[in-house]
Amino acid sequence: MNASTSKGHDASIEGIQYLRAIAALMVVFHHARWFFPADCILFTAPWAEFGSRGVDIFFVISGYVMTVSTRNYSARAELRIPQALDFIVKRFIRVVPLYWIATLWTAKRLIWRGEAGLPLLKDFLFVPHFSERDHGLIWPYLFQGWSINYELFFYALFAISMLVGRRRYVFLSLALLTLVLLGTVLTVTHAQTNIAAIIFYTSNLLLEFLMGIWLSLWMQGRVSRLPRPILMGVTLIAFVILAVPNDDTIRGFADGIVAVAIVWTAVLWGDAINIPLLKHLGDASYSIYLFHMTIYGASLWVFKSLGLLPPTAFHMVSVVAMQIVFASLLGLAVHRCVEKPVLTWLRSMVTARRRRRVV
């Protein structure tokens, strides 16, 4: 029996939602290791960084979905600016408010004590800066927000490309490849710079957005079919390869290619599976990603009370599984009670403003 088909831009992206859930839970797993000492197997095993690669999958998904979502783009000169503005407004509404809410919640004590300064302001403006808590790392106060900075940067480039016209993907490819090439040159020559934005926005991680774009363009107009056993084998092999550790200097190249294979198989799986829970978790994946660390203290108290912190195999499996459940429940609650109402309200405001403009 054949798996689902991918019909270019008309392909189902149900599989993408499932993959979003998996990627978010990979990140939860990665951070759940911190309940245990750094010399335990969760940190020392060859696959120890596997969970962090959920972000690489997210980046490829972004490139793929942004290409699919703008498939009706018109290159007519008079429509380019309105389309670019519409795109950036939609992405702002989807990503920024919840990130700001999560940042406010995470930094509430800092704000209450009156200690919030320029770094936190930079976080709200998506300006990369060196962390005051983790020296040498370019992290916002909500540390997993580093990936959101990349997302917003990519959205900005994507919106600018929509002003170019028919050559927009050529422009995007050249822009992203140039930035990555500059970063590679800086790395190879050991050039020193203390400008966070230059270090940050010349990372080879930008390649993963571009790979997602290329994957979407390659699949356009194609009908792909794989027997389910083969599709399952490709998916499993890709995840196993993703667990192979790679240094950050080649992460975008090595892990990006594997993430592309995973996103490709996810699209092919779209119509072949039906897992409602995973679909709901995919819908809530952004809330899970942003808020899963806010319950770290409460989880620590629970695990300590249950005597699960000595790093035995049973304890580690139990803690990781429980933390994934806790984070999932919290993410689902935030998605239902905060994310969806905020999105609905903001989208209705934009719609109402457009109607008034037409009238």
Tell me the three-class secondary structure of the chain, residue by residue.
CECCCEEHHHCCCHHHHHHHHHHHHHHHHHHHHHHCCCCCHHHHCCCCCHHHHHHHHHHHHHHHHHHHHCCCCCCCHHHHHHHHHHHHHHHHHHHHHHHHHHHHHHCHHHHHCCCCCHHHHHHHHCCCCCCCCCCCCCCCCCHHHHHHHHHHHHHHHHHHHCCCCCCHHHHHHHHHHHHHHHHHHHHHCCCCCCCHHHHHCCCCCHHHHHHHHHHHHHHCCCEECCEHHHHHHHHHHHHHHHCCCCCCCCHHHHHHHHHHHHHHHHHHHCCCCCCHHHHHHHHCHHHHHHHHHHHHHHHHHHHHHCCCCCCCHHHHHHHHHHHHHHHHHHHHHHHHHHHHHHHHHHHHHHHHHHHHHHC
The answer to whether 202 touches 182, Cβ cutoff 8 Å, is yes
The answer to whether 319 touches 303, Cβ cutoff 8 Å, is yes
pLDDT for res 353: 81
pLDDT for res 12: 57
pLDDT for res 358: 60
Q: How many CA atoms lie within 13 A of 297 on its CB side?
A: 2
CA angle at 7 for the pair 81 and 73, rounded to the nearest 5°:
5
pLDDT for res 93: 97
> Tokens 């499932």 sit at which residue?
18
| 77-82: Cβ within 8 A, 24+ apart | 77/165, 80/162, 80/163, 80/164, 80/165, 81/163
pLDDT for res 220: 85
The answer to whether 202 touches 177, Cβ cutoff 8 Å, is no
pLDDT for res 3: 37
In the predicted model, residues of the chain with pLDDT beneath 50 are: 1-11
Tokens (6 digits) for 166: 């028919």
The answer to whether 265 touches 238, Cβ cutoff 8 Å, is yes
pLDDT for res 333: 98
Counting Cβ atoms within 10 Å, is residue 186 exposed (0-12), middle (13-18) or buried (19+)?
middle
